[in-house]
Amino acid sequence: MKKIVVRALPLVLAFAYLTTPVRSASIDPVIYWNGVAAAAYTAAISPAPAGTPAPLPPVRPGQVGPLDFAMVHTAVHDAVQAYEKRYEPYGGAIPVGGRRYTGDTIIKREIQAPDPLYQRGHRLVEVVVNGRVKASKEVPADGKEHPVEFSIDVDRSSWIAVRQFPQLHTNPVNVIVAGKPIRASRESALWALACVEQLWRVRARRIAATERPDAERAYEEAKATYRQIAAESK
């Protein structure tokens, strides 16, 4: 078993994603941040000017552009609500059944209730291990730096992340115990397998006949991998 210490130094939480308000008599903040999002998206998908080295592939391909804009506008909404208190904040509502063990989003059609932590100006920072919350601490959402430290036991290879439900989530860090691979969830492996199978059903007929055998072998290899992971998982 490994003892893992998770530190977040510094951790700054404000009343929304946007911690620096945009206040100007001549610029509407919503229009301003919409322009920032549009400029960032355009830069990500635009080729470099002539004569410059070839750029790396765009981090956010064009198909997810609407998702990027949706994330920015969700942040703008909560930022405006933090000051004006006239709307329902996205980040201040949780399902009546409580925070999920897995997943990081709220389905808006679910029955919801105000988050008491949000109402008194705090956020719950949680350590997530293999999709399950293992430790948590309340942190004031005052825009100031707050050192946060967690100590957790890890008895098998796992992925670990920190989140502030439902708004923020770090990338996972893999912790390997006794040289064993991470086998976090049989259900997740089966879900990924079903996705690959559905992709093949939908896309196979659109692949050129000369390329289809190689494509099918690649899909079968992916499915075999997920079947193995499912068999080795709990």
pLDDT tens-place string over residues 13-72: 443 333 334 444 456 777 777 777 777 777 666 665 666 555 444 444 444 566 667 777
User: pLDDT digit string (tens) for 181-223?
Assistant: 999 889 989 989 999 999 999 889 889 999 999 999 999 999 9
For 170-227, strand residue ranges (E) read 173-175
- Give the predicted TM-score (pTM) of the model: 0.56
Domain boundaries, the chain: 186-232
Q: Catalogue the long-range contacts made by 69-72 (C-beta closer than 8 Å, 24 or more residues apart).
A: 69/34, 69/37, 69/38, 69/41, 72/33, 72/34, 72/36, 72/37
Per the CB < 8 A criterion, the answer to whether 136 and 64 are in contact is: no
Q: Which amino acid is at 228?
A: Q
